[in-house]
A = this chain, B = another copy of it.
Amino acid sequence: MSPNLALNQEVAERRAAGEDIVHLGFGESRLPAFGPLVESLVAGAKRNAYGPVQGDAAVREAVAGYFTRRRMPTGPDQVVVGPGSKPLLMALNLVLPGDVVIPRPAWNTYAPQAALAGRRAVGVPIPAGAGGVPDPDELCRVIGAERRAGRDPRTVVLTLPDNPTGSLAPPALVREICEIAEREDLTVVSDEIYRDVVHDPATPFLSPCEVIPHRTVVTSGLSKSLALGGWRIGVARFPGDGPGRMLRDQVLSVASEMWSTLAGPMQEVAAYAFAEPPELRGHLAASARLHGSVARAVHAVLIGAGAVCRPPAGGFYVYPDFEPLRPVLAAKGVVDSPTLARRLLDHGGLAVLAGHLLGDDAGALRFKAATSMLYGDTPVLQWQALHSDTPLALPHVAAGIRRIEEGIGRLVS
Interface residues of A (CB under 8 A from B): 1-2, 5-6, 8-9, 26, 28, 30, 32-33, 37-38, 41-42, 45-53, 83-84, 86-87, 90, 94, 109, 112-113, 116, 118, 227-232, 249, 252-254, 256-261, 263-266
Tell me, in angstroms, the Cα distance from A258 to B83 when the chains sit together: 10
Residues from chain B with Cβ under 8 Å of A38 in the complex: 45-46
Tell me, in angstroms, the Cα distance from A254 to B256 when the chains sit together: 18
Residues from chain B with Cβ under 8 Å of A87 in the complex: 87, 258-259
Q: A33-B48, A113-B258, A257-B90 are in contact. Are A1 and B229 (CB under 8 A)?
A: no
Q: How far is the CB of A83 from chain B (nearest CB, A)?
A: 5
Indicate if the CB atoms of A83 and B263 lie closer than 8 Å: yes
Q: How far is the CB of A2 from chain B (nearest CB, A)?
A: 4
A6, A42, A228, A256, most chain B CB atoms within 10 A: A256
Indicate if the CB atoms of B5 and A260 lie closer than 8 Å: yes
Indicate if the CB atoms of B230 and A1 lie closer than 8 Å: no
Residues from chain B with Cβ under 8 Å of A52 in the complex: 9
Which one, B42, B83, B260, B265, contacts A259 given CB within 8 A? Answer: B83
18 A-B contacts (beta carbon < 8 Å) = A1-B253, A2-B253, A28-B49, A28-B50, A32-B46, A32-B48, A38-B46, A42-B42, A48-B227, A48-B228, A49-B227, A49-B230, A50-B230, A86-B260, A112-B253, A112-B257, A116-B258, A258-B258
Residues from chain B with Cβ under 8 Å of A254 in the complex: 116
Q: A49-B230, A113-B257, A259-B83 are in contact. Are A249 and B32 (CB under 8 A)?
A: no
Residues from chain B with Cβ under 8 Å of A47 in the complex: 230
Indicate if the CB atoms of B1 and A48 lie closer than 8 Å: no
Q: How far is the CB of A202 from chain B (nearest CB, A)?
A: 29
Residues from chain B with Cβ under 8 Å of A94 in the complex: 116
Residues from chain B with Cβ under 8 Å of A53 in the complex: 1-2, 5
Tell me, in angstroms, the Cα distance from A83 to B2 when the chains sit together: 18
Q: A5-B256, A42-B42, A87-B258 are in contact. Are A232 and B48 (CB under 8 A)?
A: no
Indicate if the CB atoms of B109 and A263 lie closer than 8 Å: no
Q: How far is the CB of A81 from chain B (nearest CB, A)?
A: 13
Indicate if the CB atoms of B231 and A263 lie closer than 8 Å: yes
Sort A-B residue pairs by CB-CB distance and give the 5 closest, nearest first. A2-B256, A230-B264, A33-B48, A50-B229, A112-B257
Q: A116-B94, A249-B1, A256-B1 are in contact. Are A231 and B48 (CB under 8 A)?
A: yes
